[in-house]
Structure formats: C-alpha cells, structure tokens
C-alpha cells in the first residue's frame, strides 16, 4: 500500500472510533492528521523491512542434483557457482562442480575445483583421487600437494 492510502486508512479508523465510541481524544484536525501521518510512515517502513532471505547452500546443492538428473549440466554448474559465491567455505559445492566438469571433460577446471575443495577439507581422502583423475596422468596439479599429510599444517 502506498503512504497516502495508509494515511487515509488511519484517518478513517480515527473517524470511525469517534462515531462508534463517542470519544474524540484530539483537540483538532491537525493533531489527528499528524498521528495518521506518523502511524502510516511507521507501517510503511515496517512493511518494507522484510528482506528476502538468502537460499540455503545445501538447498542449492539439492537443486543442482535435480538439474543434473534432468540432464541440465550447464545449469547445475551455474547454480553451483552461485552456491560457491554465497558460501565459499562449502567444499562439497567445489567437489560436485568439479565432478560435473569431469563429465564435460573440462579437466583443468575440474582439477582447480578439486584443489579448492582440498584446501577447505584436506581430511577428505576422495578429493585427492578426484583431483588425480582430473589431472589426467595421476600426478599433482601445479601448486598443490598430492598427499593429505602435506595439508595438515595449513591454516584454514
């Protein structure tokens, strides 16, 4: 509702209470209009405070799974990129996007995502295997170690 419409609503409510209850708590129209204006401004501002909540990153992963099952891999990759932007510590999003890059045979992007997942969760052994698959020859991707022990001392 627009601000003038809300002000009119409160003016009608005040007038209705005067007729119904027989009491008029205001000395004049100026006080009544000020009360209506303040009340309408309050409700207008309070109504606009509802901000859309960010989607849950786990829900975005589930939606990406369903997109893959329907054959829309590119849309799933875009959704996972959104999940990574909104929650950069979600290593599962990096892993799943890397797996989708493997399906598309984009090995460099897959290795990069697996390396990012390893930096976030070095204790996850399967990430090293996936990164080795993405690198093609089973070796290390440049800038990353191939053993989880070498990541144990890194700060997260």
Residues 21 and 41 grouped into a single domain: yes
Q: Answer yes or no: is 90 within a domain.
A: yes
Which residues make Cβ contacts (< 8 Å) with residue 151, sequence separation at least 6? 118, 119, 122, 145
Residues 72 and 131 grouped into a single domain: yes
Residue 155: the pLDDT is: 37
User: Into how many domains does the chain fold?
Assistant: 2
Residues 64 and 34 grouped into a single domain: no
Residue 56: the pLDDT is: 80
CA distance 151 to 156: 10
Domain range for 40 is 3-47
Question: Which of 122, 102, 98 minimizes the C-alpha distance to 112?
Answer: 98
Q: Model confidence over 82-104: pLDDT tens digits?
A: 999 988 899 999 999 999 999 99
Q: Answer yes or no: is 52 within a domain.
A: no
Residue 140 confidence (pLDDT) above 60 = no
Residues 107 and 126 grouped into a single domain: yes
Residues 66 and 141 grouped into a single domain: yes
**Cβ atoms < 10 Å from Cβ of 126:** 10
Q: Answer yes or no: is 156 within a domain.
A: no
Q: What is the DSSP string of 23-70?
A: ----SSHHHHHHHHHHHHHHHHHHHT--PPPPPPHHHHHHHHHHHHHT
CB 93 within 8 A of CB 83: yes
Residue 14: the pLDDT is: 64
Q: Model confidence over 10-64: pLDDT tens digits?
A: 666 666 666 555 665 666 666 666 666 777 777 777 777 765 566 788 888 999 9
Q: Which residue has the higher pLDDT, 75 or 26?
A: 75
Residues 92 and 125 grouped into a single domain: yes
Indicate the pTM of the whole model.
Answer: 0.55
The number of CA neighbours under 13 Å toward the Cβ of 93 is 24
Residues 86 and 146 grouped into a single domain: yes
């Amino acid at each position: 509702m627009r601000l003038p419409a809300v002000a009119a609503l409160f003016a009608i409510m005040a007038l209705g209470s005067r007729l119904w209850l027989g009491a008029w708590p205001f000395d004049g129209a100026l006080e009544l209009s000020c009360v209506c204006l303040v009340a309408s401004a309050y409700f207008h501002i309070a109504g606009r405070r509802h901000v859309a909540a960010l989607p849950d990153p786990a829900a975005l992963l589930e939606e990406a799974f369903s997109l893959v099952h329907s054959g829309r891999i590119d849309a799933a990759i875009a959704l996972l990129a959104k999940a990574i932007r909104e929650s950069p510590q979600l290593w599962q999003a990096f892993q799943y996007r890397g797996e989708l890059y493997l399906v598309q045979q984009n090995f460099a992007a897959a290795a990069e995502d697996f390396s990012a997942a390893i930096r976030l969760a070095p204790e996850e052994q399967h990430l090293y295997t996936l990164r080795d698959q993405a690198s093609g020859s089973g070796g290390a991707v440049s800038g990353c170690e191939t053993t989880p022990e070498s990541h144990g001392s890194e700060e997260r």
